[in-house]
Structure 1
């Protein structure tokens, strides 16, 4: 977490990083904690949940109103910023025209927006372009270069395709199993390893496929260091579309080649990446062809920095608001 940033969380995911939750400045949300933060004379930016995260955005509007009130009393400017990654069409996320109009009007309360993918930026532009004109905004895809946690330990690459996440329909796992057979991967000496955080499904697995249930983070890093390919063939289902695809980010950060579909939010930002194979969603043959290309390719981390960290996002917010004011 960037220096000088505090995090008040209203809920937590099952796979939340325990180290982050234990860090100084991270605490469950209370109105008292928020008021104390807003009264801090050094406060420059209030980050709120993205607007298309509807439940949290309704809460965020109350936080913004409080921040505005405190700002008037203390006569200090506090910018309101958000990081947006929703890839599902806003018209499907918010079917009602009246509700979309109300949401568009509420976006006028934002001073700065960073989109995590080009897909998210285009999604918001189509639905709320006029209401975003007031805010400064840009696209800063996540960092894709070498993992900052792992040191080079000489771990040899194995003939392994790694699937990180719950082996569900929306993550494209049934299609992956079909593609695995079409590619003849097991006959070529390859293994498909599933790192399932829940272990809740009972799967009939073909030859060469195994599941590791709820591996700790250290083991996940080790699996990424030894794997050759990371596969995440997400598909769109009603009410959901892959926002970013963190397994892809982690795979690239560990020097793996990755195979995904055009449904992931990062697809447009990864089209020219030398370690990425984009395939057609729900198409086993396209996915099989992508797997074969990835299996035959070299495994190298592209040189140089690519993408952005949260510190870069915060720095952009601060710079954008200073230019605006």
Structure 2
């Protein structure tokens, strides 16, 4: 069934709508805690779990069918993908055009909101760009500025994202309707120090170059040389799976779990002391936040990562370690050992977190303007 046919079978949209380019498990898990809304999406990500979609108002649409559905609806608030997400610009622009037509025909004005975590310039010139590519980038920049100008409320999940938008699109700091709410988690209620295993390090994520799994495996002999008895739990899946398993067979103390369930990941996080996510730079991608970092913090783990994550400033300010050279396995090893030796109390890490998840707080503000800006600044500074 095509997206355009599928949408015709769906009931009327709720007054709140989220228009996403793609949807994944993390969206499904969070949707039950966010403000209730219909979710329009174009594609499913690789980790989409059908069981988690039950009970949610999900509608799969194409760019045109999504715009038509929105234009014919009575929605009051529309969340769009952030303007610097180029893959969603066509769908977003069509949806905004549909809202404009609806308004000209006598419909009410829809409040447009967005949650931004993009921390790299998507319009930066690459090496030897073809004329056609440069033209496409100019058009995309124009569309992004148009989308940005239509946004009524923008919440930034990281200071790096706020700085990026300031640089690329401008008018960020002076916008009264833009607010920085760091994408920090609330503490997990069950997180305690009782199950921690001394010297336990954990990696959770895709087995890919950009997530830094190869650099971590290269660093591990240095870690055990400096900290005998240290153990490493690796959880995830990906293209480098065979390489990960091959290295694990060479070193005692490395455990690999392929595509574990959410409950098992939570158990493993409660057993570890340090979470490592050595994200690597890429010409087309930069770690915006890093879901494993967020999950690790919520369980009270010390974090070792690189400057690629948008949370780097916050992590350094709260005594976690951000490695300057993402490609240096010796530097990564030293950072891991330092965090293990520091042995920070779980309670100290949990106390540094807000009482409400930053993404949820941002959603509260975007969709209903509560709590107040003053309360949010106090809670998430």
Question: Which bracket does the TM-score occupy, shorter chain normalised?
Answer: 0.7 to 0.9
Aligned to 1:8: 40
Q: Does 1:59 align with 2:91?
A: yes
Q: Residues of 2 paired with 1:93 and 1:27: CA distance?
A: 36
CA deviation string 1:252-305 (max 9, x = no partner): 10111111011111112222124x211122122321221011111224133264
- Distance of aligned partners of 1:17 and 1:233 in 2 relative to their CA distance in 1, 3 Å threshold: same
Deviation at 1:84, TM superposition (A): 1.5
**Structure 1: unaligned runs, 5 residues or longer:** none
2:103 aligns with one of 71, 80, 100? 71
**Structure 2: unaligned runs, 5 residues or longer:** 1-30, 373-381
Aligned to 1:315: 364
1:90 aligns with one of 122, 126, 135? 122
- Distance of aligned partners of 1:40 and 1:58 in 2 relative to their CA distance in 1, 3 Å threshold: closer
2:229 aligns with one of 189, 192, 197? 189
Deviation at 1:163, TM superposition (A): 0.7
Instruction: Say if 1:228 and 1:299, in contact at 8 Å, map to a contact too.
Output: no
- Distance of aligned partners of 1:318 and 1:214 in 2 relative to their CA distance in 1, 3 Å threshold: closer
Deviation at 1:52, TM superposition (A): 1.9
Q: Does 1:202 align with 2:242?
A: yes
- Distance of aligned partners of 1:29 and 1:101 in 2 relative to their CA distance in 1, 3 Å threshold: closer
- Distance of aligned partners of 1:48 and 1:173 in 2 relative to their CA distance in 1, 3 Å threshold: same
Deviation at 1:308, TM superposition (A): 3.8
TM-score, normalization: structure 2?
A: 0.74
Q: Does 1:223 align with 2:268?
A: yes
Q: Residues of 2 paired with 1:278 and 1:198: CA distance?
A: 24
Classify the secondary structure of the residue corresponding to 2:178. Answer: strand
Deviation at 1:153, TM superposition (A): 7.5
Deviation at 1:168, TM superposition (A): 2.2
Classify the secondary structure of the residue corresponding to 2:351. Answer: coil
Q: Does 1:257 align with 2:302?
A: yes
Q: Does 1:142 align with 2:183?
A: yes
Deviation at 1:26, TM superposition (A): 2.6
Q: Residues of 1 paired with 2:310 and 2:259: CA distance?
A: 25
- Higher RCO structure (Cα 8 Å, ≥6 apart): 1
CA deviation string 1:228-273 (max 9, x = no partner): 1110011102211111111100001011111101111111222212
Deviation at 1:59, TM superposition (A): 0.8
Q: Residues of 2 paired with 1:256 and 1:134: CA distance?
A: 35
Aligned to 1:22: 54
Aligned to 1:302: 350
Instruction: Say if 1:114 and 1:140, in contact at 8 Å, map to a contact too.
Output: yes
Pairing 1:260-271 to 2, within 5 Å after superposition: 260-271=305-316
Aligned to 2:282: 237
Alpha-carbon RMSD? 3.0
Deviation at 1:39, TM superposition (A): 5.6
1:114 aligns with one of 155, 159, 181? 155
Aligned to 2:216: 176
TM-score, normalization: structure 1?
A: 0.85
